[in-house]
Structure formats: structure tokens, C-alpha cells
Amino acid sequence: MTKKAIILLSGGLDSATCLAIAKDMGFECYAMSFRYGQRHTVELDAAKKVADAMGVKEHIVIDINLGTIGGSALTADIEVPKHHKVEDMGKDIPITYVPARNTIFLSFALAWGEVLHIKDIFIGVNALDYSGYPDCRPEYIESYENMANFATKLGTEGEKIKIHTPLISMTKGEIVKTGVELGVDYSLTHTCYDPDENGRSCGVCDSCLLRLKGFEEYGMRDPIDYM
Amino acid sequence: MTKKAIILLSGGLDSATCLAIAKDMGFECYAMSFRYGQRHTVELDAAKKVADAMGVKEHIVIDINLGTIGGSALTADIEVPKHHKVEDMGKDIPITYVPARNTIFLSFALAWGEVLHIKDIFIGVNALDYSGYPDCRPEYIESYENMANFATKLGTEGEKIKIHTPLISMTKGEIVKTGVELGVDYSLTHTCYDPDENGRSCGVCDSCLLRLKGFEEYGMRDPIDYM
């Protein structure tokens, strides 16, 4: 029987790598993306390209409106912070943190898993580089997995739901290395929090800085365009 | 300082009673409803009326599309089962179960709580009458609460998030009694899974049967219109 998995796919470096890992583990992949009031949709275009390039079985985009709730620079009219070095990034929870985002995303994956009878869910969270986000920590993922097994028909029928986080303790350099070895075409991905109208990345938001650090650590030029 | 709470409000008997309880406990109430691809929107109208009548501080409606995911008689084109007595209702998980619905709803409440700095969330789940739904059981709620405290800034800053389920071990009769004592106007509420075009309730879906049983147990006529 084919093993199936749901992969949360933002179209960024991490989720594209996560998808490649799931595929390499032999899973037939169902990708799920979200239109959640982001200020830009270039990342959804990237998700589609990545999903197509990696031959996923199905890719769905869920519309939700986190904008109604507010509270993040990614969905509200708050300026995205710019830095020049990773070391300048704050140690606190950044303003680009979207409240309960991973919890919401995983809950939709859980629902889709119920319908498709899929008990393996992949999410590309990373605890090292995004230490400021509460919902990227291993203890969060464990507690989510525990809850998921109480929440669902699938979980209560004895099949254990698993939240896979293959990137959780990797450095950005290790993520890039893994993806390159698995054939990820990083030119299709998009990471920037604040791209220009042509979709070019800013190179100075926290997300760009971490991405660039990853390529630098691995010793490869990032194939996407910067302003 | 005013105590604040978020209340998940569907506009049905249970959530209206839950809101009344939260208010009675001294909470300033923020109500949250969902447009989730229900086949009817009469319940959202009811939610608005209930929220207004009970003087909530704010009422927001979140648009999500569970229809994309499918799998339930409430959001897909599957016939809603009809019975004539509560005893005829199945013991299995009913087809009206919406996959991971409470998990999704609570996750949005969690997000809104992060933004408003509210750590008390009320949900009108009931373990007795809806024994077929995995996400209405106490062990589910406990595991959710545990997860919520890892998931959020609020939870990690030492303030404990609490998921209140005041109705969880009440019978439907006790729920109606409590609501009546707290002044809930049940004529504003809506419970039916399958109302007609005038919003009148069918009286034979599982949800109507349980509601009618509640009024019968309490010894009061249900004030809403039935077909």
C-alpha cells in the first residue's frame, strides 16, 4: 500500500526541502498551502511551482483570513523589520510572528488527513534559526501530536497520527545541503517577507538573512533574484 | 482589571448558554463565529442575534473553507441523517462530524487571544449527548489546553491559557435549565442541521432531537419554529 503524507507547503526554502524529504522517505505527497492575508502572494505562486516540480499527488490552497485577527507584520499594516546581519536579529518573538499560525495550519492538515485517511503530516519548522517562535519548538510539536490523537476519528481508531519535523534541529546550511542532495530546485522557492512588485527578495528581512546564511554555510550562490 | 474571554459562538443552544455562563462569571466577552462552508447560514444570523442580545464586546466571523476539504454532511453534498427518537441515533461517529472542526475553531480563538491578550477561551462542547465526536471529550480538551500553552507567546510568558467547557458534563436538560436561569433567549438560537428555506428547523436531525430532548427534560416548550 502506498504511504501517504500531507505536507504543509509555503513555497519557501524550508517547506520545499521538507517535501523533498517526505518524497525521499517514500511518501505519496499531498501538499497544502494557505492564503492567509499575506501582504504578497508571490509565495503561493512559488508553492504551486514547487508542488508541480516535485510531482505531488494533489495541492490545495485553503483560504483563511488571519487579517481579521491582526497582530502580525505579515498580515497587518506593520513595517517588516530589516537587519543587515543575522546577529542583529532580536532574541525576542519577532513582529513577523503570526499568532498561532502553525497551530491553525496543522489543524487544517489534521482535517484533511481525517478525510483522506492520512496519518503522517510534515511541517518544515526549525527550532535553531527561529528560536523566537513558540510554535517551532519540539515540545510544541509533541504536545500537538498528542492532542491530534485525541482530536480525530483516525487518532481514536488506533492509528497514531505523526507530525514529522525533519528540519527541526538542522542549521540552515544543513537544510540547503539536504535539499540540494535531494534535487530541490531552489530557484522556484520564495522566502522574503517583503518582496518588491516584481517578486524580487529584499535580502534584509529576517527571513532573507537566514536563507542567505544557509546558502553561504553550504557554499552555494542562492539562485533567486534579490533587489 | 476586566477579565476577558473569547467565546466560540455558533448560534446554537449550547454556545448561547456557554456565552451566558461566561458573562455570569464576570468575563467581558469576545464572540467568534465561523463561516465554514455550512450548507445554511441561518446559524450565523442566530449567532449575531445572540451576540447582540447578550451585549458582547466584539463579535467577529472568520471565513474558512472546510468545503475544500470535504468529508462531512454539514459541508459537503451528503444527506443529513434523520431519526425520530434520540435512541435511534447511532453510537458511531456521525456523518455530520466535521473533521477536526473544534481543533480548527479553537486554533483561531487561540490566535485571537494572542492578539487581544486573552487567555480564557470558552467552547460549548458536551460529552454526554455527542459521545460520537472525538473532539468533544474531556481528554481532548485537556490535551488541547496543554498544547495551547506551548503554542503561544501568551502561554510561554507564564500566563496559563484555559479552555473552559462549562457544559461538558451537563445533560441537555441541565443546559436548558442553566440558560433559562441566566436569561438566555432561546428563540434567537438555531440548532438544526437541515433547516428549510425559511430557516425553520426539521425536528428530526440528530441536532434537533437533542435540542428537543433538552426542552422536554426541563419541561418547557422550545420557542423556535419547526416545520
Distance, CA of A94 to CA of A91 (rounded, Å): 8
Question: Nearest CA to CA, how far is A58 from chain B (Å)?
Answer: 12
State the pLDDT at residue A206: 82
Contact B114 A71 (CB under 8 A): yes
Query: Residue B162 corresponds to which cell in the numbers above?
Result: 484555559
Choose between A76 and A42: higher pLDDT.
Answer: A42
pLDDT (average), residues A140-147: 97
Asked if residues B28 and B122 have their Cβ atoms less than 8 Å apart, the reply is no
Dihedral sign, CA of B42, B48, B50, B53? negative
Chain B residues closer than 8 Å to A135 by CB? 150-152
* Cβ partners under 8 Å of residue A158, min gap 6: none
pLDDT at A41 (0 to 100): 77
Determine the distance from the C-alpha atom of residue A82 to the mean position of all C-alpha atoms in its chain, rounded to a whole number.
21
Q: What is the pLDDT of residue B131?
A: 59
Among partner residues B93, B111, B143, which is closest to A69 by beta-carbon distance?
B111
Cell readout for B24 is 455570569
Alpha carbon distance B74, B40 (integer Å): 9
Beta strands across the sheet bearing B162-164:
B58-63, B28-35, B4-8, B120-122, B162-164
Read off the DSSP letter of residue A186. G
| B111-to-A65, A99, B54 alpha-carbon distances in Å | 12, 5, 23
Q: Which residues of A touch B (CB under 8 A)?
A: 60, 62-66, 68-71, 93, 97-104, 107-108, 110-112, 114-115, 134-135, 137, 139-140, 143-144, 146-153, 155-156
Interchain proximity B93–A144, CB inside 8 Å? no
Yes or no: say if A103 and A121 are a contact pair by the CB < 8 Å rule: no
Residue, of A9 and B206, whose pLDDT is higher? A9
Verify whether the Cβ–Cβ distance A134 to B152 is below 8 Å: yes
Interface confidence (ipTM) of the complex: 0.88
The amino acid occupying position B92 is D
Give the pLDDT score at B188. 96
Closest A-chain CA to B92: A153
Cα gap B90→B93, rounded to integer Å? 8
pLDDT digits (tens, 9 = 90+) for A86-100: 666 555 555 556 788
**What is the reported pTM?**
0.90
Segment A168-196 mean pLDDT: 94
User: Is residue A60 within 8 Å of A113, Cβ to Cβ?
Assistant: no
Which position has the grid cell 456565552?
Answer: B19
Reported confidence tier of residue A199, pLDDT bands at 50, 70, 90: confident
| pLDDT on residue A78 | 57
The chain A residue lying nearest B60, using CA atoms, is: A68
In chain B the domains, ranked by start, together with CATH numbers, are 4-218 (3.40.50.620)
pLDDT 10s per residue in chain B (227 long)? 789 999 999 999 999 999 999 999 999 999 999 887 666 678 899 999 999 999 999 999 888 877 677 665 556 555 656 666 666 665 555 556 678 889 999 999 999 998 899 999 999 998 876 657 888 899 999 999 999 999 988 888 877 999 999 999 999 999 999 999 999 999 999 988 888 888 899 998 888 998 999 999 999 999 999 98
- A174 SS3 class: helix
In chain B, residues with a C-beta closer than 8 Å to the C-beta of A132 are none
